[in-house]
């Protein structure tokens, strides 16, 4: 999704403006997307939420993700002409082309960065990144505040997911989706085992409650009812690809002038 990332600086971006994002083709290849706890109450209605195990320096851990496709490298929620087809846009996409990236000098420090190959930068159109006196513009500050809040919530969410893993509640997900009358198996994801959850002893249950992870648990389980949506979207994508000439006019899908887009 991000191609050429550089730290935001007045020396490099002082005269630049950012045009509004008009479509979501930048995320067309994102089959899964990381989620934070603050958005789960909206995300559960839009797509199934699962857990994806990944390796890191300390071993492996599960991360909470939204499942956006049945095929790697394809996002079923992005239409061929760039429209977002779902009811909720994940926070990880709403600040594009901004992102917090780790500093090369200090791995514990995250810097606000910009994808310079986003195709949205201009010297004459859009929102200014910096004011005339070289300070961050109000627009840029709102984006950075949103990124910072999201990152803090991501850290808290991951701690909660780690608590669930310590309780040994994850189990591989045997997911099968019907696509155009054919059944497709999707592997590699984990879900919470409801049987194990219901058999927890009181002490472990209270530990989950104190850790504040029960909303994640129940939100995740409720979202699994949306797995049928993936099959429906796969069929819709095929239809949309054939009907591009009759497509409706694109709305301005993401206007950073509206501060509500930067809220959970």
- What pLDDT, on a 0 to 100 scale, did the predictor assign at position 254? 42
Grade residue 244 by pLDDT with cuts at 50, 70 and 90: low
Residues with Cβ within 8 Å of 2's Cβ and at least 6 positions away in sequence, in order, are: 97, 99, 115
Where in the chain are the domains?
Answer: 5-248
Whether the bond between 258 and the residue before it is cis, its omega within 30 degrees of 0, is no
**pTM of the entire structure?**
0.86
- What pLDDT, on a 0 to 100 scale, did the predictor assign at position 71? 87
- Residue range 65-120, pLDDT digits in tens: 999 998 889 999 999 999 999 989 999 999 999 999 987 777 778 899 999 999 99
> Roughly what angle, to the nearest 10 degrees, separates helices 214-223 and 138-166?
90
Q: Average of pLDDT values for 4-12?
A: 95
The pLDDT of residue 251 is above 70: no
- What pLDDT, on a 0 to 100 scale, did the predictor assign at position 108? 75
Q: Average of pLDDT values for 240-245?
A: 73
- Residue range 36-50, pLDDT digits in tens: 999 999 999 999 999
The pLDDT of residue 259 is above 90: no
Q: Average of pLDDT values for 229-257?
A: 68
Q: How many CB atoms lie within 10 A of CB 22?
A: 14
At 13, list the tokens.
Answer: 């971006």
- Residue range 134-186, pLDDT digits in tens: 999 999 999 999 999 999 999 999 999 999 999 999 999 988 887 777 788 88
Q: Could you tell me the CA-to-CA distances from 89 to 78, 232, 249 in Å, in that order?
A: 11, 18, 20
Tallying the residues shown for the chain, one arrives at 264
């Amino acid at each position: 999704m991000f191609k050429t990332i550089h730290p935001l600086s007045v020396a490099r971006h002082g005269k630049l403006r950012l045009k509004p994002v008009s479509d979501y083709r930048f995320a067309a290849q994102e089959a899964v997307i990381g989620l934070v706890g603050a958005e789960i109450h909206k995300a559960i209605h839009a797509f199934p939420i699962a857990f994806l195990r990944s390796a890191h320096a300390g071993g492996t851990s599960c991360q909470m993700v939204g499942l956006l496709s049945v095929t790697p490298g394809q996002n079923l929620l992005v239409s061929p002409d760039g429209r977002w087809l779902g009811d909720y846009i994940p926070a990880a996409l709403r600040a594009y082309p901004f992102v917090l990236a780790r500093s090369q000098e200090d791995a514990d420090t995250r810097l606000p960065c910009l994808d310079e190959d986003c195709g949205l930068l201009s010297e004459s159109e859009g929102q200014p990144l910096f004011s005339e006196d070289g300070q961050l513009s109000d627009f840029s500050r709102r984006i950075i505040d949103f990124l910072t809040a999201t990152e803090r919530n991501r850290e808290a969410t991951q701690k909660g997911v780690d608590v669930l893993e310590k309780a040994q509640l994850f189990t591989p997900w045997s997911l099968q989706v019907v696509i155009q009358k054919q059944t497709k198996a999707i592997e590699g994801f984990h879900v919470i085992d409801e049987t194990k959850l219901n058999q927890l002893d009181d002490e472990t249950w209270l530990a989950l409650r104190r850790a504040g992870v029960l909303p994640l648990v129940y939100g995740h389980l409720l979202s699994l009812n949306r797995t049928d949506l993936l099959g429906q979207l796969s069929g819709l994508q095929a239809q949309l690809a054939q009907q591009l000439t009759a497509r409706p006019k694109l709305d301005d899908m993401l206007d950073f002038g509206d501060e509500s887009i930067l809220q959970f």
